[in-house]
Structure formats: C-alpha cells, structure tokens
Amino acid sequence: MEIESFRYIIVYDSNTSSLLDSGPAIDCADSFCKESQYPVQILTWGYERISAIYPFFRTQKIMYTIRELESLKTYPVEILPCQLYMGDFRQATNAQILKDLKLTSLVNVSKEISSKMLEEKNFTVLHILVDDSMDADLSDYFERVCIFLASHLNAGSAAFIFSTHGVSRCSAMAMTFLMYHLQYTLKMLPCVFSSFVGSPFALPLP
C-alpha cells in the first residue's frame, strides 16, 4: 500500500484505549509512521466498544473504490458523547443520520434555511435567525440556546447544532454551551474542544 499518499490514517484493533498500551494497533501505527507524511492516529476504545455504541459504522467491506469513498456520507461531529453534535444542513435533513444518532432536538443557527421540514417530522427545533456574516452578533442568542440544549440534554435527548455549512456559527454556539453547561473557561476551550471533536476519539500517535 502506498501509505505516503494517504491523508488520513486511523488504525484500530479490538480494544486499544491508550497509547501506553501494547498490541497490534500500536505496532501497525508505528510502522505506518515511518512511511506516512501525515500523522497516524489510533482509534480510542477499539472496534469492540466503538461498534457497540455506533453499530451503524460497522461494515464487512474491506476495500473501497475512489467513487465509493467519495460517496460515503459524513456524520456530524460529536461534541459530548451520545449527547451533543454539530454539523451542516445536509446532515440535519438526512433522515438516516438523525435516526442513527437518535437526534430529537435541533438548533438551526442560520437565517436563510427554513426548519419547517424538520418540524413536520416531530423534532423540537430552535431556529436562530443569524446571517452568515463576520458582522453577525450571536451574543443575543447565547442564553436562549444554552437553556434549550441544557433542558433537552438533562431530559435524556440527543441534540444537534447545525448551520448552513456547519462551520463558524454552530461552532460558536457549541463552545458557548460547553462554557455554560460544563463551566469551561475560554482559556480551557482550545484543548478541550479539540479533544471532543476528535470523536470517535482518535489519538494522534507521537
């Protein structure tokens, strides 16, 4: 295999959960590191635990064509395990993704997109009318979004924050909620947020 041409390499075995472990995943990743020009990662928890929590990610397929890889649907980023996700409008309107992640509460942080379709499917949708602009002020909506998310997460629902492209607006709302719900400070967020959005928790091999 031409490892040096691969942009993303994630290695996993049955149950590796730490870089301090020893086993086939660590050995394989070490070998790949010598050939790859990009970082090699190891899947935390391993196949057994990940597939138990996310059964819809399992597959018996070993090799994919380029066309098959390009057509794979991407899932939202997991911020809090099995509780809070963020992503884009396409994911929010994909019935299979919503079903797989058991999503029932949605925060739509955009102005140009109607949430009518989602409301017709019996989801609880909080629609925040904000322009996709550098000048847009999100601060007026922080408290409303945090209270909405906290009430649904405390009730056991899984929530999804999304915007048109799933980049700046939903990221800002997700970070705000982490500060509100988990009492993180702004100084703590860069490292904490980067570890959350690595889900399903891939560890970079040094």
153/119 same-domain check: yes
Classify residue 132: in a domain, yes or no.
Answer: yes
102/12 same-domain check: no
Question: How many domains would you assign to the chain?
Answer: 2
Query: Which of 72, 91, 107 is the last residue in one of the domains?
Result: 72
86/66 same-domain check: no
Query: Which of 47, 72, 97 is the last residue in one of the domains?
Result: 72
Domain enclosing residue 44, as ranges: 3-72
Angle between helices 168-181 and 142-154 (to 10 degrees): 60
Query: Which of 72, 89, 123 is the last residue in one of the domains?
Result: 72
Mean pLDDT in the chain?
A: 83
pLDDT digit string (tens) for 8-37?
A: 888 989 888 778 878 889 899 988 988 888
Q: Tell me what pLDDT residue 155 has.
A: 94
Residue 179, pLDDT above cutoff 80: yes
Classify residue 201: in a domain, yes or no.
Answer: no
Residue 112, pLDDT above cutoff 80: no
Tokens of 113: 């997109």
Q: Tell me what pLDDT residue 205 has.
A: 44
CA gap 101, 160 in Å, rounded: 9
CA gap 57, 55 in Å, rounded: 5
39/108 same-domain check: no
pLDDT digit string (tens) for 37-58?
A: 888 988 888 888 888 889 988 8
Classify residue 163: in a domain, yes or no.
Answer: yes
